[in-house]
Amino acid sequence: MKKVLIVRYGEIALKGLNKSYFEKKLMKHIQANLMDLGKLRVHQGGGLVYVDMDGYDEDEVIERVIKVFGIVSVSPAYGFEKDLDVIYEAALEHMKKRMKEDTIKTFKVESRRGDKSFKMKSPEISRMVGGYVLEHSKDLKVDIHNPDLMLYVDIRDKAYIYSKKIAGHGGLPLGTNGKALILLSGGIDSPVAAWMMAKRGMNIEAVHYHSYPFTSERAKEKVIDLARILAKYCGNIRIHCVNLLPIQKEINEKCPEEEMTILSRRFMMKIAEKVAENRECNALVTGESLGQVASQTIQGLTVTNDAVDLPVFRPLIALDKVDIIDISKRINTYETSILPHEDCCTVFLPRRPVTKPRLDKMLKSESNLDVQRLVEEAVENIEVIHVSIEE
């Protein structure tokens, strides 16, 4: 018997003539996430992907594989020859093992016959295997409605026995839907937004704004730490670090105080667009949620949208803060995001920021600034940091 991980995918199965392209991307990302563990064989057949796990730590393999977007569930299983006597013994052995791990009093067998040449049909396989397990396990009973454990028998190229289905994140494999540039802060929202767009198959790069020396090096390290967590899902991430302080100083000197946040946001978008164009990104991504803060009113979003021509994706736009926090905890960014380090938005923070900005007024204030020069200087002085999936 061989220990294998059965990997199932969802939307990929609906891709018709493009299905093989998505399957190859999925296999590539599974292999990339397992690369530093050794040479695990990853192969496919019958609409499933298999990872041979003999000699490897099962929990570690599962933890890495379920981070790959496109996967809906995985099952640690045993694969062996399609012989009834072998199937009976394997099922019994598996049940005994699970009974040692958990309190199991009832079970149900569910079978699938992918190989139609196998002599028994699925219902008969379930009855025969269930009967054999019952005969050799005095403390077990069958419960077809609410069993403590589901025992699965899958007849394909081999026979497979398993009893766990561990949920993945779904979505589409990375790199199947272009590339986007995320405006990545050290807060809770933007890492979740990056994760959500990567889940839809987008490769991710990041631009991060700081106001050094008004903000500390540790604040920047916090963002790098977040990128390291995201890289486990999103692959290698390039971070473009921009010092926004020269722009903030000019806005503070030449524009009304209450407009600082919105005008700074417009500059962030303009700089991000330049970076995105240089890096051949197809869109910008932000962590904004409608009405969450003063700059995220519908009027504020309209004014910041006007600053760029690229499409701006806001995957969190309709989520409550509690929904965003729940996702951040699930993907392990929350504890890093709440570390108490300042960001550039706290510099020159207005006492009463405008919440319903008018575009004509913002453009009039912006005309007091040499916008092109400020954007070009910011882009010229970018620091690039590479975060690897293996870190």
Q: Over the range 4-36, which residues count as b (16 or more CB within 10 Å of their CB) and which as e? A: bbbbbbebbeeeeeeeeebbebbbebbebbbee
Q: Is 183 annotated as a binding residue?
A: yes
CATH of domain 179-387: 3.40.50.620
CB atoms within 10 A of CB 325: 17
pLDDT score for 345: 65
Residue 294's pLDDT is: 79
| Among the listed residues 170, 181, 191, 183, the one whose alpha carbon sits nearest the alpha carbon of residue 335 | 191
pLDDT recorded at residue 214: 80
Task: State the pLDDT at residue 295.
Answer: 83
- What is the CB-side half-sphere exposure of residue 69 using CA atoms within 13 A? 26
Distance CA 231, CA 67 (A): 10
pLDDT number for residue 352: 85
> Any known ligand binding at 369?
no
Interstrand relation of 48-52 and 2-9 (parallel, antiparallel or unpaired)? antiparallel
233 is in an annotated binding site: no
Whether residue 231 contacts residue 320, with contact meaning beta carbons closer than 8 Å, is answered with: no
Specify the CATH class of 2-167 in words: alpha beta
- Coil, strand or helix at 313: strand
* E strand or H helix that includes residue 242: strand 237-243
**184 marked as part of a ligand binding site:** yes
Q: Are 211 and 245 in contact (CB under 8 A)?
A: yes
Residue 296 in marked binding region: yes
Is 287 annotated as contributing to ligand binding? yes
Question: Which residues 6+ apart lie within 8 Å of 122 measured at CB?
Answer: 111, 112, 113
CB atoms under 10 Å from CB of 81, counted, come to: 11
Do residues 310 and 284 lie in contact, with contact meaning Cβ atoms separated by under 8 Å?
yes
One digit per residue, pLDDT tens: the chain, 391 residues? 899 999 999 999 888 889 999 999 999 999 999 998 988 999 998 889 999 999 899 999 999 999 999 999 999 999 999 999 999 999 999 999 999 999 999 999 999 999 999 999 999 999 999 999 999 988 899 999 999 999 999 999 999 999 999 999 999 999 999 999 999 999 999 999 999 999 999 999 999 999 888 888 888 999 999 999 999 999 999 999 999 999 999 999 999 999 999 999 999 999 999 999 999 999 999 999 999 887 899 999 999 999 999 999 999 999 999 999 999 999 999 999 999 876 666 666 777 888 899 999 999 999 999 999 999 999 999 999 999 987 6
* Start and end residues for every CATH 3.40.50.620 domain found in the chain: 179-387
User: Angle 298-305/260-278 helices, nearest 10 degrees?
Assistant: 40
> Of 136, 159, 6, which Cα lies nearest the Cα of 84?
159
127 Cβ contact list (under 8 Å, min separation 6): 109
Can you tell me the distance from the alpha carbon of 151 to that of 231, in angstroms, rounded to the nearest whole number? 35
Query: Which pTM was predicted?
Result: 0.92
Please give the pLDDT value at position 348: 67
Angle at 111 between CA 108 and CA 113, to 5 degrees: 175
pLDDT of residue 286: 97
Element (H, E) at 239: strand 237-243
> Which tokens hold the place of 102?
């958990």
Q: Where does the chain hold its CATH 3.30.2130.30 domain(s)? A: 2-167
Q: What are 7's strand-pairing partners?
A: 49, 74
Task: Give CA–CA dist 81/256, Å, rounded.
Answer: 76
User: Is 208 known as a binding-site position?
Assistant: yes
